[in-house]
A and B are shown apart, each in its own frame.
Chain A
Amino acid sequence: MDRIFIDFSAEKGAVKPLHAVNNGPVKARSSQGRGNSDIWPEMGAPYARTHDTGHCYSYGLNHTIDISGIFPNFDADETDPASYDFQLTDIYIANTYACGTEIFYRLGESIDHRVKKYHVHPPKDYAKWARVCEHIIRHYTEGWAEGFRYKMTYWEIWNEADCGDCCWTGTQDAFFDFFAVTAQHLKTCFPHLKIGGPAGTGNRAFAEAFLSDMQRRGIRLDFFSWHRYCRTPEELLDRVHFFRDLMDKYGYSQAESICNEWNFVKNWTDAFVYSMEVIHNIKGAAFTAGCILICDSAPVDMLMYYDARPCTFNGLFDFYTMRPLPTFHTLRFFDALYKLGTSVTVSRPEEGLYAAAAKDGKGNSAVMLCHYDYEETGGPREVALSLSGGAAEYEILLLDETHGGETVGTWRPGDALTLAPQSIILLKSL
């Protein structure tokens, strides 16, 4: 018997956006139309990061988001609206806001795994590149060049400069120079926005070198971003603590720590196909729930699932039909907590069980529980769930091998709860 204690009187602060994602919805075309913009809002993803958007035909391929797509001729005048090609990016961004999700804009380039690299080289003029970014920000937040006034808070500089030559063909020092020039320029232009990066792969040495170098240069970071592909929530948690400690060590205590790519990967070689299969099944949904729930009490400010774009890493929507996959419901469950608003204290369960709870100011509350069994060797876990405060009765929504997140009954404090391996439960106060 596992025991979990929830104290609804012990508030921890706002529920964090741990169910943010990479990339936005697909709006069905009139021809060959299949999309997910009708069901996307149910997931409640608060933010959509725009990395690798340029790989997706449904979004506009290489003409979308990436600097090389929006500002295709680097020798052009960066102050002239005619130098910019915003059209397909405008459509993609508008579709995302229409579904209730705020854009988290990655300024840079999509990853390039090909033998010849095209756009992941150091820009030939860092200051000009920064000014191009400035104009993109002005387009989307200040209306420049027949633009928009979106609430677009986060602006991230580059992606995975430490990922071999897939994302940055220059040296580490060149990247630090480039980052510093851009961050300084954008923060000066937009003190009210959150400027940060560098979306590191999770490499500890690179992260430390980066933070040390930025501290030495006196560069302000509103957020520090990093990635983690792993097998268990505990492996993600390890990085959460490491990066938070590292940020504090180098004077970035005020900066947010954001994991803006994560998913299940056993390894990148012989178990890669297995990993893709897990991402799309109930085990992937339980892994996702475990990661979100374990981070509710951990020092990380946002998690951004990779990826909601039609691709193999998308465990939210089926590639063929765009219909929801199990992990869609994991995010939908967590959104119920997020919408309630206030996170409350939950005792840390034994490994394999994960829990978080939230309440609003009107007497509503919810609990989310997950049993994730990486080894697939365990049996069901019986949970004694004790509540201090909370409601007298809860609706039970179940996501497991045979349930797609539907209501299966009611639960009252004191009732036993049994969680099968790879199952997720949402208890919503009645």
Chain B
Amino acid sequence: MERISVDFSASRGPVKPLHAVNNSPVRITNNQTRGNLPAYAAAGFPYARNHDASFSCEHIVDVHAIFPNFDADETDPASYDFILTDDNVSAAYEAGAEVFYRLGAKIEHARKKYNVHPPKDFAKWARICEHIIRHYTEGWADGFRYKMTYWEIWNEPDIEPCWTGTPEQFMDLYVLTLRHLMGCFPHLKIGGPALSHNREFAAALLDRLKAENLYPGFFSWHFYGKRAETLVEYARFFRGLLDEKGFTKTESLCTEWNLVYAWSGENFVKGIEDIISMKGAAFDAACMLACDAEPVDMLMYYDARATVWNGLFDYYTMCPLPGYHSLAFFNHLFRLGQSVSLSVEGANVYAAAAKDENGKSAVMLAVYAHEADFTEKEIELTLTGGADAYEVTLLDKDHTAEIIGTWHPGEPLCLNNLSVVLLKSL
């Protein structure tokens, strides 16, 4: 018997955006018709980071795509090619997601690299970024006035497919760009570097920033693994590192995460198969729920674009996959607004709860074990406060987010491994 106690009288602050994603929805067109914008909107993803968006179209998002001739005048609107990026960005806003803009280039695995080299003029590159920000937030160059809070400098400079220069060169670029953009836009959150894995790199970068007296709006890092506990360890490590180095006000964001068993061979393929299955959905739920009470400010699932990493929408049909429902469940907590205190006694069980100011409340539970030595978990769920009855919505191998009944406090809950439940107050 696992025990979960929820205290609805003990607010912990706003529910964090732990169901943000990478990339925008696809609009349904009148030719080769398939898209996911309505379903994407219904899931309520709060942010859409646009890294790797240019896999589907080489002319979007990346700095070199928007500003294709680096020798051009960066103050001249004619030097910029915004049109397809405008379209990509607007699709996210149409679906209710705020764009989290990754300034940089997509990853390049091919033997020849094209756009992951150090820019030939760091200061000019920073000024180009400035104009991209002005286009989307201040209307520059027939632009827009979107609420676009987060601007992330580069992606995974600690791996060769994303940065062919030295770490020192990257830090030079980062420092210069950060200083320029923070100077231009003190009201926005500028940060990065979307670290792949290298903790020494992280420490060195933070030391450099401290020496430069630069305090970014956020520090971003990535996690790929098979256990929610490992993600929690990452969250604690990076928060601890930030605090230790004096960056206590800098948000800690995990801007890429998903299920991975190995990066090559059959186990890589097995991971891809599980991402789109119920196991992936339970892993997604476990990660979000585990992080609700942990020192991480945002999780951004990689990836909502049409790719093998997308456990939210089927590649062929764009219809929702099990992982979609895990994030949509969490959205219910997010919309309620206030996270509340909760304790979990037991293994492989994850939970979070939230309430609003009108007496509504909800609890989300997941059972996830990568290698389970059990088939089901009996859970004693105790509520302090909360409602008298809850609607039970179940996501498991036999139920696709279906309402299966009503739960009253005091009743036992029995959940199979790889299942997710949302209890919504009636």
Contacts and interface: CB of A to CB of B under 8 A. Distances in A.
B276 A320 contact: yes
Given A88-B110, A276-B317, A320-B315, A33 B264 contact: yes
Nearest to A57: B55
B263 A32 contact: yes
A31 B58 contact: no
Nearest to B275: A320
Nearest to B35: A273
Given A62-B58, A63-B114, A320-B315, A31 B263 contact: yes
A57 B108 CA distance: 9
Interface string B62-93: 00000000000000000001011001000000
B269 A312 contact: no
Given A62-B58, A319-B316, A116 B83 contact: yes
Interface string A29-40: 111111000000
Contacts of A63: 110, 112, 114
Given A34-B268, A34-B272, A277-B317, A319 B308 contact: yes
Contacts of A91: 110-111
Interface string A60-88: 11110000000000000000000001011
A280 B314 CA distance: 13
B308 A320 contact: yes
Nearest to A166: B31
A105 to B, nearest CB: 20
Interface in A265-302: 268-270, 272-273, 276-277, 280
A32 B268 contact: yes
7 contacts: A31-B109, A33-B264, A87-B111, A114-B57, A273-B317, A276-B34, A276-B317
A205 interface: no
Contacts of B315: 312, 319-320
Contact of B316 (A33, A85, A277): A277
Nearest to A30: B264
Contact of A29 (B32, B109, B112, B114): B109
Contact of B87 (A115, A319, A321): A115
Given A268-B31, A276-B317, A320-B272, A114 B308 contact: no
Given A57-B55, A272-B34, A276-B34, A34 B269 contact: yes
Contacts of A31: 109, 161, 263-264
B72 to A, nearest CB: 15
Q: Chain B, interface size: which category?
A: 20 to 34
Interface in B298-319: 308, 315-319
A236 B315 CA distance: 28
Nearest to B30: A269
Contacts of B316: 273, 276-277, 280, 312, 319
Contacts of A34: 268-269, 272, 308
Contact of B112 (A28, A32, A87, A114): A87
A270 B55 contact: no
A114 B58 CA distance: 11
A115 B276 CA distance: 31
Nearest to B260: A32
B265 interface: yes
A124 interface: no
B33 interface: yes
A387 B30 CA distance: 50
Contact of A270 (B33, B83, B87, B318): B33
Interface residues of A, number: 34
A319 B273 CA distance: 10
Contacts of A192: none
Contacts of B51: none
Nearest to A321: B269
Interface string A122-138: 00000000000000000
A57 B58 CA distance: 10
Given A31-B264, A32-B268, A88-B110, A116 B59 contact: yes
B106 to A, nearest CB: 9
Nearest to B318: A273
Interface string B259-271: 0000111001100
B272 A268 contact: no
Contacts of B112: 60, 63, 85, 87-88
A62 B68 CA distance: 14
A216 interface: no
A113 interface: yes
Contacts of A114: 57, 59, 84, 87
Contact of A268 (B33, B110, B276, B319): B33
A281 B124 CA distance: 52
A118 B59 contact: yes
Contacts of A276: 34, 316-317
Contacts of B81: 116
B133 to A, nearest CB: 22
A114 B272 CA distance: 29
B4 to A, nearest CB: 34
A68 to B, nearest CB: 10
A277 B315 CA distance: 11
A58 B160 CA distance: 17
A60 B110 contact: yes
Contacts of B109: 29, 31-32, 57
B34 A273 contact: yes
A54 to B, nearest CB: 9
Given A29-B109, A32-B263, A116-B59, 16 more contacts: A28-B264, A30-B264, A31-B161, A31-B264, A33-B263, A33-B268, A88-B112, A91-B111, A116-B81, A118-B59, A272-B34, A273-B319, A312-B315, A320-B273, A320-B315, A321-B269
Interface string B205-245: 00000000000000000000000000000000000000000
B31 A269 contact: yes
Contact of B264 (A32, A85, A273, A319): A32
Which are the 6 A-B pairs with shortest beta-carbon distances? A272-B33, A33-B264, A87-B112, A62-B58, A116-B83, A276-B316
Given A31-B264, A88-B111, A321 B84 contact: no
Interface in B20-45: 30-34
A280 B84 CA distance: 31
Contacts of B273: 320-321
A116 to B, nearest CB: 5
Nearest to A279: B316
Contacts of A116: 59, 81, 83-84
Contacts of B34: 272-273, 276, 312
Contacts of B55: 57, 61
Contacts of B59: 114, 116, 118
Nearest to A322: B269
Interface string B110-152: 1110100000000000000000000000000000000000000
